[in-house]
Amino acid sequence: MKLSRLGMLSLGLALVATPVFAQTDKVIARVDGMNITEREIALATEDLGERLAQLPDERKRDEVINYLVDLKLGAKAATAAKIADAPDFAARLAYFREKVLLDQYLTAEAKKAATPEAAKKLYDETTKALAPEEEVNARHILVEDEAQAKAVAERLKKGEDFAKVAAELSKDPGSGKEGGSLGWFTKDRMVPEFAEVAFKLTKGQVSDPVKSQFGWHVIKLEDKRNKPLPEFAAVKPQIDQYLERKAQQDIIVALREKAKVERLDQPAAPATPAPAPAEPKKP
């Protein structure tokens, strides 16, 4: 959970009023005597993530420092203008204090959940439950009409190299230059008309012309296998992210369940009427 720009501004205002923070970190720059520290640069770098992503690496640090210069000068001017005395400033600052506290708490607790042991356990359980999924490695030649597709099929039956014919005739801008190669794919990645034929072919077999929404195809099956499972190391970052997000959600749910939440802006729910007394039994 990242600190918002407004949250960063509020934090900056607090830092101006709290010089002890600056004294505990390496000072990188000063503006009008106000320190800019390495830790502030780290916080601002995190806050400006998307904006910095568009810049070359060699410009990012300067961009962050310039941002902090503007932040310090703006906070100083705001202090002189007594913005901090405005009626809603304390409430705004309190809101962002609570937000930062929550962010930091959830981040710390989530890290505890994403242990190597938990990640490996989830990986093993997930991969064990996965059903084998077939995939094929195929080539195709895409042309505009059936007559062209039949002419392609005839050339291939006479022994011409599939990859060379694909490079010469295929209208597919992606695979044509690669000899028609589509690489490995599962059935759901292709349009049904194409997939049904491709997955019924045997290794080395070339199909009859196949019509789809893109035109006419001639398909050659290179190979077929069960899709290999991803290695643990390759998916561990995604597993860690999942564990952290789940831990954060679980924490919020648990806090909610233990809390007494009262909505004072809504009318109280009507009281449940008492059941009518039972009629006396007839003698």
Q: What is the pLDDT of residue 83?
A: 93
Taking every pair of C-alpha atoms in the chain, what is the biggest distance, in angstroms?
A: 104
Tell me the pLDDT band of 280, cut-offs 50, 70 and 90: very low
Token pair listed for 39: 């830790």
Predicted confidence (pLDDT) per residue in 82-122, tens digit: 999 988 999 999 999 999 999 999 999 999 999 999 999 99
Distance (Å, rounded) from C-alpha 215 to C-alpha 25?
A: 65
Can you name the CATH fold of 134-226? Answer: Chitinase A; domain 3 (3.10.50)
Distance (Å, rounded) from C-alpha 176 to C-alpha 215?
A: 14
Q: Which of 224, 230, 176, 178 is nearest to 200 (CA)?
A: 224
Q: What is the pLDDT of residue 5?
A: 39
- Is a pLDDT exceeding 80 seen at residue 74? yes
Predicted confidence (pLDDT) per residue in 155-169, tens digit: 999 999 999 999 999
Predicted confidence (pLDDT) per residue in 187-234, tens digit: 999 999 999 999 999 999 999 999 999 999 999 999 999 999 999 999
Q: What is the pLDDT of residue 20?
A: 40
Domain ranges of the chain: 5-88, 116-126+230-258, 134-226
The better pLDDT of the pair 258, 263 is held by 258
Predicted confidence (pLDDT) per residue in 233-250, tens digit: 999 999 999 999 999 999
Predicted confidence (pLDDT) per residue in 5-57, tens digit: 334 334 443 433 344 444 458 999 999 999 999 999 999 999 998 889 989 99
Q: What is the pLDDT of residue 188?
A: 95
Predicted confidence (pLDDT) per residue in 137-186, tens digit: 999 999 999 999 999 999 999 999 999 999 999 999 999 999 999 999 99
Stretch (H or E) spanning 48: none
Phi, psi of 275 (to 5 degrees): -65, 145
Q: What is the pLDDT of residue 35?
A: 94
Q: Which of 270, 246, 257 is nearest to 113 (CA)?
A: 246
Q: Which of 68, 27, 30, 34 is nearest to 48 (CA)?
A: 68
